[in-house]
Amino acid sequence: MKKLFLLIFPALLISSCSSTDKLQHDSGQTDQLLTYSELITPEFLRSHLEVIAHDSLLGRDTGSEGERIAASYIIDHYTEWGIEPKGTTGYLQPFMLNAERTDSLVYRTYSVADNDTTWLSQSIEGESSAADFIRLFGGATPQDGEIVFAGFGVYDPARNVRHLDEDKIAGNWVLIFEEIPHVVNGDTLIDPRINNNARIGQIISQYNANGVLVISDMEQDEYMEVAAISSMTISNPENFRLQYLDDGRGTHGFSESYTMVSPEKAAEMLGLESVAEIFEYRESLKSDITGFSAYKTDRHLKYEPFEGTVEVESNNVIGYIEGGHPELKEEVIVLVAHYDHIGIGMPDEHGDMINNGADDNGSGTVALLNIAKAMQQAANDGYRPDRSVLFLHVSAEEKGLLGSRYYSDHPVIPIENTAASFNADMIGRSDDRNIDKGDTDYVYLIGGHLISSELENLVIEANNKSVSMRLDDYYNDLNDPNQLYRRSDHWNFGRLEVPFVFFFTGLHEDYHRPGDTVDKIDFEKLSRITKLIHASTIKTANAENRPEVDNDEFVEITRRMAR
């Protein structure tokens, strides 16, 4: 405190009439604030991630005890550091979700018929003796339709791969192989950007399928073992939707089902004699991948989920550092990271069922913690950015961006005063694309000029002033098949025309798998990206003018989606 008094006392002597304005401006000097990046370290990030992604939190599933422990951990440190609470209840912003829960007697049923509606079989998920189907995601409402076989389920016109046909698919089930053969014998058959999420999203959203049936790559015996284990978690809540938006019909859950089907059942659907034949069929499609087109099988599927609604409470966690400028402090930069993950799920080859979520999104969570620590220390020393900064740890991202949607509809700082948003989600590893190139000192930027070129320029300037990483725009395209510009929590700001940048390092083999553990995080890289977000926040908070939305195409898309 004495040091701060000596720094500001000469200013008081120079000009009494404008002293307040000058003091506030001095406290937000960019270069001084940037020096606090030295507090962002691999050691800090590791120590906190080892807690957030520990086995004892059981994967931080939405509404679970593990998620509550993670929220308490964040709150304890914000309290210790003196960061102001900005939730509706202290640091917490509670919200209610509706979900479905299967009881011990009634499970999801899958009934298969021929196309003359002669019912051939019924599988009840949860009974290992009839576990022909394992629902992986969605399935909030009953679905009924023909089964269309669509090969590898991809549309890649640049390579003349057209396995999808809307005339056949719309209103029906799509049966596809699990594997996407991007590269075979050194030849690129399918654009590597078309990953499983992009494929499933395209089939359901653009081709209007009732659901996707993915043929397991496992042998039949292995599949049945996994199905038996899966039945242990069948009573977990699912198909979450925000209670205040729920119309009572589950329409805010995911109606369409993404379901794994046993190789044996898939062979039956395709009229093949054995499981061996289905794997032979898969290999033959690889050898003539451009010659295949979707066709209707002679099978029909009726899916009936258990219908029973339960309430689940979850929480966003919100901390706040007030800006130093007397006027600009009313505006805010929102830093976002989801702290939930997907909990207990399918076992890996070691039998591990805990999805620790170290990268997804423990990495973003601890990045926000470290930035908050550095900025609060600067504030304690008398240095504040001009605009305020909000640290928004959202939940239920894995259930459909629900926590950030709740915040954007119930903001603690008015949306019209939100100058920009930075989202950190999966920033602790590198993807195969960059590993293969031998250059992992990169980060993907998504957003930026897609909504505001001014915001992108501020991030570029921040990068030049801090870590000088390679800023990769590989996914920064409104037409990218992955649609990442609307696939994480930044979207709930973007849909309201708040400029955003999504910091991301790409998907990897452990995405949504138990292998996403702390030992695989590149902490040196994570610290560099965290410093970049810190610098970007300071540059944007201290910019003379807030970044403007200047991409009419993006605005048109968001307004069309809102209708």
Q: Residue 450 belongs to a domain with what CATH number? A: 3.40.630.10
Residue 162 lies in a domain: yes
Hey, which bits of 249-308 come out as E strands? 257-261, 295-304
Sign of CA dihedral 123, 127, 133, 136: positive
Can you name the residues that pair with 311 across neighbouring β-strands?
A: 98
Greatest pairwise CA separation for the chain in angstroms? 93
Residue 19 lies in a domain: no
> With contact defined as beta carbons under 8 Å apart, do 406 and 399 qualify?
no
CA dihedral 427, 428, 434, 437 (to 10 degrees): 140
Same domain, 279 and 163: yes
Does a cis peptide bond (omega within 30 degrees of 0) precede residue 463? Answer: no
Mean pLDDT is lowest, of 105-114, 267-276, 394-403, for 105-114
Print the domain residue range for 192: 109-304
Residue 487, token pair as written in the block? 């696939």
pLDDT at 56 over 80: yes
Residue 341 lies in a domain: yes
Residue 103 lies in a domain: no
pLDDT at 279 over 80: yes
Which distant-in-sequence residues (6+ apart) come within 8 Å of 124 by Cβ? Answer: 107, 108, 109, 110, 130
Of residues 530, 465, 528, the one with CA closest to residue 35:
465
Which distant-in-sequence residues (6+ apart) come within 8 Å of 5 by Cβ? Answer: none
Same domain, 425 and 461: yes
Q: What is the mean pLDDT of residues 324-349?
A: 92
pLDDT at 429 over 70: yes
Residue 23 lies in a domain: no
> With contact defined as beta carbons under 8 Å apart, do 91 and 319 qualify?
yes
Of 245, 274, 304, the residue at which a domain comes to its end is 304
Confidence of residue 304 (pLDDT cuts 50, 70, 90): confident
Confidence of residue 25 (pLDDT cuts 50, 70, 90): very low
Can you name the residues that pair with 119 across neighbouring β-strands?
A: 113
> What does residue 489 show for φ and ψ, rounded to 5 degrees?
-65, -20
Residue 177 lies in a domain: yes
Of residues 283, 253, 407, 274, the one with CA closest to residue 338:
407
> What does residue 134 show for φ and ψ, rounded to 5 degrees?
-125, 110
Same domain, 204 and 224: yes
Q: What is the mean pLDDT of residues 33-37?
A: 97
Same domain, 65 and 150: no
pLDDT at 559 over 90: no
User: 538-554, pLDDT tens digit by residue?
Assistant: 999 999 999 999 999 99
| Residue 558: burial class (beta carbons within 10 Å; 0-12, 13-18, 19+) | middle
Same domain, 89 and 187: no
Residue 16 lies in a domain: no
CATH number, position 178: 3.50.30.30
Number of neighbours of residue 562 by Cβ within 10 angstroms: 8
Same domain, 455 and 496: yes
Same domain, 58 and 173: no
Same domain, 531 and 397: yes
Of 304, 332, 366, the residue at which a domain comes to its end is 304
Same domain, 87 and 123: no
pLDDT at 53 over 80: yes
Q: Distance (Å, rounded) from C-alpha 404 to C-alpha 491?
A: 9
Residue 340, token pair as written in the block? 């939930």
The DSSP secondary-structure symbol of 89 reads B
For the entire predicted model, the pTM comes to 0.75
The DSSP secondary-structure symbol of 548 reads P
Same domain, 140 and 195: yes
Same domain, 377 and 253: no
> What does residue 240 show for φ and ψ, rounded to 5 degrees?
-75, 145
Higher pLDDT, 357 or 227: 357
Structural domain count of the chain: 2
Q: What is the mean pLDDT of residues 57-75?
A: 96
Of 265, 287, 304, the residue at which a domain comes to its end is 304
Q: Distance (Å, rounded) from C-alpha 202 to C-alpha 482?
A: 9
Per-residue pLDDT, 8: 34
Per-residue pLDDT, 20: 35
Residue 270 lies in a domain: yes
Confidence of residue 235 (pLDDT cuts 50, 70, 90): low
| Residue 26: burial class (beta carbons within 10 Å; 0-12, 13-18, 19+) | middle
Confidence of residue 257 (pLDDT cuts 50, 70, 90): confident
Same domain, 283 and 329: no
